[in-house]
Structure 1
Amino acid sequence: MAEAQPTEGTARYRFFNHAACEFYPCHDMPPEDLNCLFCFCPLYALGPACGGAYRYVGEHRDIKDCSACTLPHRRENYDYLMSRYAEIQKLAAPPAADA
């Protein structure tokens, strides 16, 4: 049996716009495309491997600045973000027991 593919009308879980947020809009992009679902980007923890537009700032260049990145906020990137969760899960895994 083929799995039903979500459509714009049935996949509401893929997009959320929070226009009442005190920080809205947080990025310069069309409001109808600004997806707030991943407000705090889950890819942040992947550092340079996140795939987004970032830069390191600060005296020691140790602060990741993602303010110019719209990757997690674009409606079409939901599947990309979800495809990266295995990498994030590895980062969050408990340390292996000492043998």
Structure 2
Amino acid sequence: MEPKDSTRNEAFKGFTNDACPFMPCHQGVKREFNCLFCYCPLIAYECPGPYRVITDRHGMRRKDCSPCNLPHNGYLQSWSFIQKWLERPVLWDGHEQTRYQVDLPEDAEPRRGGPQGETD
């Protein structure tokens, strides 16, 4: 049993830092703004969020997740979204985002079997 499974208090699933000088850092958030995932734990993994690929000054391809609001859109929704994608993490291989088109965390279900959507 995980400690989070032993409580009914779900306050650990999110918070809003109204004093943050960068608030609001993402546009289009329709629910309470969740600052818990300020730095998204999916940055190195496949994810459905809208991202661009940039090449840094050292030639490394990186995800620019600036347009993504999935980890911020609602305390419970964004917590569930991140947890689902971390259950079966697939390392991001540097490709452009072409597979997923989602707007809300409810639509962001990970595909079973990896990025091509193969089923078990």
Q: What's the TM-score bracket when you normalise by the shorter of the two chains?
A: 0.5 to 0.7
Q: Alignment length, in residue pairs?
A: 83
Query: How many Å separate the matches in 2 of 1:12 and 1:31?
Result: 19
Of residues 37, 48, 56, the one that matches 1:51 is: 48
Using the aligned pairs only, state the percent identity: 35
Higher-Rg structure is 1
The one-letter amino acid of 2:53's match is Y
Query: How many Å separate the matches in 1 of 2:64 and 2:44?
Result: 12
CA contact (8 A) 1:15 1:37 kept: yes
1:77 paired residue number: 78
CA contact (8 A) 1:17 1:35 kept: yes
1:25 paired residue number: 24
CA contact (8 A) 1:25 1:31 kept: no
Query: How many Å separate the matches in 2 of 1:70 and 1:30?
Result: 6
Could you tell me how far 1:68 is from its partner in structure 2? Answer: 0.4
Could you tell me how far 1:23 is from its partner in structure 2? Answer: 1.4
Structure 1 unpaired stretches of 5+:
92-99
Could you tell me how far 1:86 is from its partner in structure 2? Answer: 4.0
The one-letter amino acid of 1:50's match is C
Could you tell me how far 1:45 is from its partner in structure 2? Answer: 0.8
TM-score, with length taken from structure 2: 0.55
Query: How many Å separate the matches in 1 of 2:17 and 2:30?
Result: 10
Query: How many Å separate the matches in 1 of 2:84 and 2:37?
Result: 14
Could you tell me how far 1:57 is from its partner in structure 2? Answer: 2.4
The one-letter amino acid of 2:84's match is S
SS of residue paired to 1:19 = coil
Report the structure, 1 or 2, having the larger helix content. Answer: 1
Q: Closer, same or farther in 2 for the Cα pair 1:44/1:19, shift >3 Å?
A: same
